[in-house]
Amino acid sequence: MTATVVWSDALLGYNLGDHPLNPVRVELTMALARELGVLDRPGVELVAPEPATEAELLRVHRRDYLDAVRAAPDDPFFRGYGLNTPDNPVFDHMHESSALVCGATLAAARAVWSGHARRAVNVAGGLHHAMPARAAGFCVYDDPAVAIADLLAQGAERIAYVDVDVHHGDGVQEIFYDDPRVLTVSLHEGPLTLFPGTGYVEETGGPQAEGTAVNVPLPPGTGDRGWLRAFHAVVPSVVRAFRPQLIVLQAGADTHRLDPLANLRLTVDGQRAAQLAVRALADEVCEGRLVATGGGGYALVEVVPRAWTHLLAMVTGEPLDPATALPESWREFAARRVPGRAVPSTLTDGGDTTFTPWQPEAEGDQLDRAIMAARKAVFPLHGLDPHDPRD
3-state secondary structure the chain: CCEEEECCHHHHCCCCCCCCCCCHHHHHHHHHHHHCCHHHCCCEEEECCCCCCHHHHCCCCCHHHHHHHHHHHHCCCCCECCECCCCCCCCCCHHHHHHHHHHHHHHHHHHHHCCCCCEEEECCCCCCCCECCECECCECCCHHHHHHHHHHHCCCCCEEEEECCCCCCHHHHHHCCCCCCEEEEEEEECCCCCCCCCCCCCCCCCCCCCCCEEEEEECCCCEHHHHHHHHHHHHHHHHHHHCCCEEEEECCCCCECCCCCCCCEECHHHHHHHHHHHHHHHHHHCCCCEEEECCCCCCCCCCHHHHHHHHHHHHHCCCCCCCCECCHHHHHHHHHHCCCCCCCCECCCCCCCCCCCCCCCCCCCHHHHHHHHHHHHHHHHHCCCCCCCCC
Residue 129: active-site member: yes
Residue pair 333/31 in contact (Cβ under 8 Å)? The answer is yes
The one catalytic residue in 61, 95, 128, 129 is: 129
Residue pair 358/389 in contact (Cβ under 8 Å)? The answer is yes
Which residues are the active-site residues? Answer: 129
